[in-house]
Amino acid sequence: MKEHYRYSSYRETLIEHLFVGELLRHLWIHGIYSVEVMKPNVDAAGYDLAIQCGPILRHIQLKASASTSRTERQNIHTLLTEKPSGCVVWIRFEPETLNLNEFLFLGAPPGNRLPDLEVFPAARHTRGNAQGYKAERSQIRKVPRLAFQRLQTIEEVAAQLFGRTPSARAPVD
């Protein structure tokens, strides 16, 4: 679809909002009402948003691609490994409806750092210099889809991010 290419920045923001909304709805239904969602002003630290749920703070780099996409890898910033509980959530969506239909997760259990990304090859700039040379981007690693854990539901995502979702509690006045 031409619209997806032309408006890719808008679509990425929309997918991010849909993801956060689905995650917050799941947590709310399970009695978790106090969740903080924070977004950095500058995209330089390797994450797109941070979500705190109880004592767990997750720095999350979001990636998105259509379910019809043949994308086999994602570029991940190595600074994400410096954040406690840093992780990547790769959202796969239906291009016609924008329904979120699958999630791929790269990370460790809550409270643990993202595994070392140095084992993956460095990415290169997409544009070459005057001689056509595409310089290496030493802080960006090309991580293959096979390194990610496949998750089907937002419930599974919540469990990966924050541990098992506790059973619903009575609302607090």
Number of domains in the chain: 1
Q: Is 74 part of a structural domain of the chain? A: yes
Residue 169 is assigned to a structural domain of this protein: no
Tell me the backbone φ, ψ of residue 40, rounded to 5 degrees.
-70, 150
Residue 91 included in any domain: yes
* More reliable by pLDDT, 76 or 165: 76
Is the residue at 118 inside a domain? yes
Per-residue confidence (pLDDT) for residue 3, from 0 to 100: 65
Domain carrying residue 112: 2-162
CA 76 to CA 63: how far, in whole Å? 9
The confidence band for 135, taking pLDDT boundaries of 50, 70 and 90, is confident
Instruction: Give me the chain's average pLDDT, please.
Output: 88
**pLDDT of 7 above 80:** no
Comparing CA positions, the residue from 106, 59, 105 lying closest to residue 84 is 59
Whether the Cβ atoms of residue 109 and residue 15 lie closer than 8 Å to each other: no
- The answer as to whether 65 is a domain residue is yes
Return the C-alpha torsion angle 33, 53, 26, 89, nearest 10. Answer: 150
- Residues 56-75 have pLDDT tens digits of 999 999 999 999 999 999 99
61 Cβ neighbours under 8 A, 6+ residues apart: 46, 47, 48, 76, 77, 80, 86, 87, 88, 89
Asked whether residue 96 is domain-assigned, the answer is yes
Q: Is residue 168 part of a domain?
A: no
Give yes or no for residue 89 having a pLDDT over 60.
yes
Per-residue model confidence (pLDDT) at position 173: 39
In a domain, 172, yes or no: no
Please, which residues bridge with residue 105 across strands? 89, 149
User: Residue 147: pLDDT band by 50, 70, 90 thresholds?
Assistant: very high
